[in-house]
């Protein structure tokens, strides 16, 4: 039985209710648009979220902590509310008469006050009467379309943290120090290269520039922002930037360069041009190259690097994906990422995925970032992004960038530094492959 509510909608509802998940009890298209079917599956069960769907595309319903019955009585519930979705946003209509919050009627589905009834009179219809113990605008809630195409009731269940994290992280200051030292002392396995170049690719607003700023902050010892970052609908990065990180303010350059690109956008002719990617991977693009979304760089352009060497090329590609948007990734964007992935695969460059904003995606992680590998939800998102981008789960790493904080958090640092360490390991795989190819060529000669 598949829920019609998207995982994003489920998460939005759950965020109103605490540390919970939704379990589907009743689905009218399977069990029948009848009061009998509803009561058989839902009586004595609570708390619940009841959801109606109509042909006009509205998703609306109500929450009650009280278990359903057929007593004919009203029950008191001061936490009950009605709701509707406006895009991804939840509009809530709290109960105004808690003593009459829910009525336990035998010949109807979920019955909220006298204001909203789903599967009214055992029919696929809605009874609607705003102002009776709940105030709402009918046009806003369901567009005045009172015919149901589907009705679902979910039980709200407490979620417990996983007893055991599914990836092991030692959350101690020594771990942070060890990670920083291993990054500082890293040397690429090829002597002609002193710094591994990692290309960051991702949709607008996923957190590419913020990731660079966050890593920079960790090594500077305080939150800083050198790369332009923020929330916008079009890319804030318009140039190709190669950022060298330093170990401290006056410190030596670190052995990793993070290359920031323009954000990917759904529509053609906007955001990063997929054809520019090949030039970046091969090392033809100079630092501060100004992107033109509609035209890729021409090999005759004065800024084109005609004979790049190994140190100019990209040694690892990292996709930056917002955890909150995995399940609602537009098809066009997925197709662009797929086209890029194919190009990268052909060139034999290792690929990693950073899942950002894990704290915004999961209340457990917002509470404590150390719960990141105990969260069922984050694991699901990582599995989904692994499937969508066609990379193994072992290549997906969750991080939380610094965005609003003024001080560093050692646990966030551990996630961020682990991501950089993984990038360097992947770059080493690339150098090893290159060395193997050279060895084979020498043997042939």
**Contact present, 1 and 23 (Cβ < 8 Å):** no
pLDDT, averaged across the chain? 88
Q: Which residues of 111-148 are buried (b: 16+ CB within 10 A; e: fewer)?
A: bbbbbbbbbbebebbbbeebeebbebebeebbeebeeb
Q: Where are the domains of the chain?
A: 7-158, 173-443
pLDDT score of 268 more than 70: no
Chain centroid, CA 46 distance in Å: 30
| pLDDT confidence of residue 120 | 96
| pLDDT confidence of residue 128 | 95
**Contact present, 49 and 85 (Cβ < 8 Å):** no
- The domain made up of 173-443 is a member of CATH 3.30.1370.60: no
The residue that leads in pLDDT, 80 or 376, is 80
Alpha-carbon gap, residue 150 to 306, rounded angstroms: 60
Which of 264, 277, 258, 275 has its CA nearest to residue 199? 258
Give the model confidence (pLDDT) of 165-220 as tens digits.
889 999 999 999 999 999 999 999 898 999 999 999 988 888 888 999 999 999 99
Alpha-carbon gap, residue 63 to 42, rounded angstroms: 13
pLDDT score of 276 more than 90: no
Question: How sure is the predictor about 235, in pLDDT bands with cuts at 50, 70 and 90?
Answer: very low
Task: Quote the pTM value.
Answer: 0.68
Which of 23, 84, 69 has its CA nearest to residue 48? 23
Give the model confidence (pLDDT) of 293-305 as tens digits.
556 666 777 677 8
Give the model confidence (pLDDT) of 304-318 as tens digits.
788 889 999 999 999
| pLDDT confidence of residue 161 | 56
């Amino acid at each position: 039985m598949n829920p019609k509510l998207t995982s994003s909608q489920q998460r939005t509802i759950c965020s109103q209710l605490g540390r919970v998940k939704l379990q589907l009890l009743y689905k009218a298209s399977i069990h029948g648009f009848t009061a009998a079917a509803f009561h058989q599956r839902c009586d004595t069960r609570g708390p619940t979220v009841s959801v109606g769907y109509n042909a006009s595309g509205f998703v609306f319903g109500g929450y009650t902590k009280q278990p359903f019955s057929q007593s004919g009585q009203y029950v008191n519930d001061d936490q009950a509310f009605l709701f509707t979705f406006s895009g991804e946003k939840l509009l809530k209509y709290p109960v105004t008469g808690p003593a009459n919050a829910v009525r336990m009627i035998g010949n109807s589905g979920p019955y909220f006050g006298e204001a909203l009834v789903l599967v009214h009179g055992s029919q696929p219809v809605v009874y609607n009467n705003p102002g009776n113990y709940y105030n709402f605008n009918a046009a806003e809630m369901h567009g005045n379309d009172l015919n149901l195409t589907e009705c679902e009731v979910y039980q709200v269940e407490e979620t417990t943290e996983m007893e055991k994290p599914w990836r092991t992280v030692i959350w101690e200051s020594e771990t942070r120090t060890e990670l920083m030292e291993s990054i500082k002392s890293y040397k690429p396995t090829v002597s002609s290269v002193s710094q591994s170049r990692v290309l960051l690719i991702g949709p607008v607003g996923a957190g590419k520039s913020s990731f660079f700023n966050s890593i920079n902050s960790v090594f500077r010892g305080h939150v800083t922002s050198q790369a332009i970052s923020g929330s916008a609908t079009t890319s804030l990065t318009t140039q190709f930037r190669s950022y060298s990180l330093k170990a401290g303010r006056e410190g030596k350059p670190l052995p990793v360069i993070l290359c920031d690109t323009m954000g990917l956008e759904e529509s053609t002719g906007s955001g990063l041009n997929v054809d520019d990617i090949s030039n970046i991977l091969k090392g033809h693009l100079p630092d501060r190259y100004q992107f033109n979304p509609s035209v890729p760089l021409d090999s005759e352009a004065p800024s084109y690097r005609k004979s790049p060497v190994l140190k100019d090329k990209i040694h690892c590609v990292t996709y930056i994906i917002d955890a909150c948007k995995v399940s609602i990734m537009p098809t066009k964007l997925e197709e662009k990422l797929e086209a890029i992935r194919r190009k990268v695969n052909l060139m034999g460059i290792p690929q990693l995925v950073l899942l950002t904003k894990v704290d915004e995606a999961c209340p457990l992680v917002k509470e404590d970032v150390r719960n990141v590998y105990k969260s069922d939800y984050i694991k699901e998102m990582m599995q989904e992004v692994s499937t969508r981008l066609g990379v193994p789960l072992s290549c997906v790493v969750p991080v939380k960038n610094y965005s609003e904080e003024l001080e560093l958090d050692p646990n966030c640092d551990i996630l961020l530094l682990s991501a950089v360490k993984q990038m360097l390991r992947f770059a080493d795989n690339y150098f090893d492959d290159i060395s193997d190819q050279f060895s084979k060529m020498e043997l042939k000669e």
